[in-house]
Amino acid sequence: MDNSIQTLINQRFPVLDKGFVELQDMMGDDLAIVNAARVSFLGESKGPERDKKLLFYLMQHRHTSPFEMVEFKFRVRAPLVVWWQWVRHRTWHMNAQSGRYTPFEEEDFYLPAVWRQQARDNKQASEGELYTPDSDKLTVLLEEHYTRGYALYQQALAAGVAREQARLFLPGFSVYYTWVTKVDAHNLLHFLRLRMADDAQWEIRQYAQTIYQKVVKTALPWTAEAFETFILKSDS
């Protein structure tokens, strides 16, 4: 494994107020993509310049299967409002923390730093910060909601209610869960193209940008450069 990749393993990159992204393992690198493409005629590396040129050709012309030869395994802690979006990408393999086995902690809730306005032209999106005298009050109300919900959860557990039912008292979309996820490079780039876009939900954009900036650009520098040149720029 390349030293630059090795330094990433088990690094924890903070996201949102209490979340993180951690690369647990990785298989392959830029050269693995190139060699996978050349196997069609039993070729191998032809030096950095020609190898990089081939990788750029693959990205430009959407020859995607060689990129599937590289895999990432992440450990991610995110609120359910993020996972609700993430699981739509069915090419990811996921195993999630279960509230049936693990009790939740008092701080396991997402508290947004700012409140956003509803977008005028997009029914499913937000747009800009909400500046009103009520903004701080809304944050206090949300904190009180979390405190009361967690107290009821604890009360139910103390009464002997099963964890799988007691969690009904918890504020649903804000609860943090930890997942282990695995994906190949081709489908990771597809995820990043969609979830780093301006019209993606703000919270999941923070996870996508962290994965791209902190992991992908270090682990697959040629791939990241080609991705920006032929995919991201074509979307803008």
Question: Can you tell me the distance from the alpha carbon of 123 to that of 183, in angstroms, rounded to the nearest whole number?
Answer: 30
Q: Per residue in 140-182, pLDDT tens? A: 999 999 999 999 999 999 999 999 999 999 998 999 999 999 9
Same domain, 191 and 146: no
Q: With 80 as the cut, is the pLDDT of residue 188 above it?
A: yes
Same domain, 142 and 190: no
Asked whether residue 10 is domain-assigned, the answer is yes
Same domain, 56 and 68: yes
Q: Using H for helix, E for strand and C for coil, what is the string for 77-138?
A: EEEHHHHHHHCCCCCCEEEECCCCCCCCCCCCECCCCCCEEECCCCCCCEEEECCCCCHHHH
**Residue-number span of the structural domain to which 216 is assigned:** 3-96+176-235
Number of domains in the chain: 2
What share of the chain in percent tops pLDDT 70? Answer: 97
Residue 1: the pLDDT is: 65
Residue 17 and residue 113 in contact, taking contact as beta carbons nearer than 8 Å: yes
Residue 15: the pLDDT is: 98
Quickly tell me which residue has 């090795």 as its tokens.
6
Give the number of residues written for the chain.
236
Asked whether residue 14 is domain-assigned, the answer is yes
Question: Can you tell me the distance from the alpha carbon of 22 to that of 73, in angstroms, rounded to the nearest whole number?
Answer: 9
Asked whether residue 127 is domain-assigned, the answer is yes
Same domain, 183 and 87: yes
Q: With 60 as the cut, is the pLDDT of residue 42 above it?
A: no
Same domain, 121 and 145: yes
Same domain, 16 and 123: no
Confidence category of residue 46, pLDDT binned at 50, 70, 90: confident
N-terminal to C-terminal alpha carbon distance within the chain = 34
Q: Per residue in 72-127, pLDDT tens? A: 999 999 999 999 999 999 999 999 988 887 888 888 999 999 999 988 888 888 88
pTM of the full predicted structure? 0.93
Residue 54: the pLDDT is: 96
Residue 2: the pLDDT is: 76
**Is 195 part of the annotated catalytic residue set?**
yes
- Catalytic option among 50, 100, 116, 195: 195
Instruction: Name 200's Cβ contacts closer than 8 Å, sequence gap at least 6.
Output: 85, 194, 208
